Amino acid sequence: MGLEPDLLAGSQIEDIISIVLGHVKDGYEASCLVYVIAADTVQFTDDKLIAKLKCIRERISAEGIPQVVIMTKVDEACPLVKQDLRNIYTSKKIYEKMEMCSAKIGVPLSNIFPVRNYHDEIDTEDDTDFLILKALEQIVQIANVRLEIMKIK
């Protein structure tokens, strides 16, 4: 279940925070929180939803848990990227979307990973796979750093 703008709609703030803080099965500890946000709608994101996300981010950050954003649908947000996915890191529009997401939610720009969704393809595409796998690799590295820190404490 995702978040919805209305206070009692979708996943609840306290439920998400409780899960991330480990209030689940014995031995489970969260090492990273991943938000999934569509690049083509980030500027239209409802203020109530942004307030929920900020509340979650602040409480989770206070516990030292890193947070990342998977920014999906980059091809829908930028015609240049839609034409050639390899333009993703030179696209000013995508960079602006990432900056906007960082400013609205508070996740560092370096923890926002743009990806293209699979939606109507029959076969896989190397460029799409590369972005998804690169994002996953970065998330695993961030989570591993958190786990190493937790071991030291």
Give the 3-state secondary structure percentages of the chain, helix then strand then coil, rounded to 5: 55, 10, 35
When pLDDT is cut at 50, 70 and 90, the band that residue 149 belongs to is confident
Length, in residues, of the chain: 153
Q: Are strands 112-114 and 33-38 parallel, antiparallel or unpaired?
A: unpaired
pTM of the model: 0.79
Q: Is 79 exposed, middle or buried (0-12, 13-18, 19+ CB in 10 A)?
A: exposed
Sorted by where each begins, the domain ranges of the chain are 33-45+66-152
Residue 98 clears pLDDT 90, i.e. is over it: yes
**What backbone phi and psi angles, to 5 degrees, belong to 113?**
-120, 110
Average pLDDT over residues 13-31: 65
Residue 35 carries which DSSP code? E
When pLDDT is cut at 50, 70 and 90, the band that residue 128 belongs to is very high
For 35-45, the pLDDT digits (tens) are: 888 898 887 66
Q: How many CB atoms lie within 10 A of CB 129?
A: 13
Enter the tokens of residue 100. 């906007």
* Residue with the larger pLDDT of the pair 22 and 57: 57
Residue 23 clears pLDDT 80, i.e. is over it: no
- Give the pLDDT confidence score for residue 12 in this predicted structure: 64
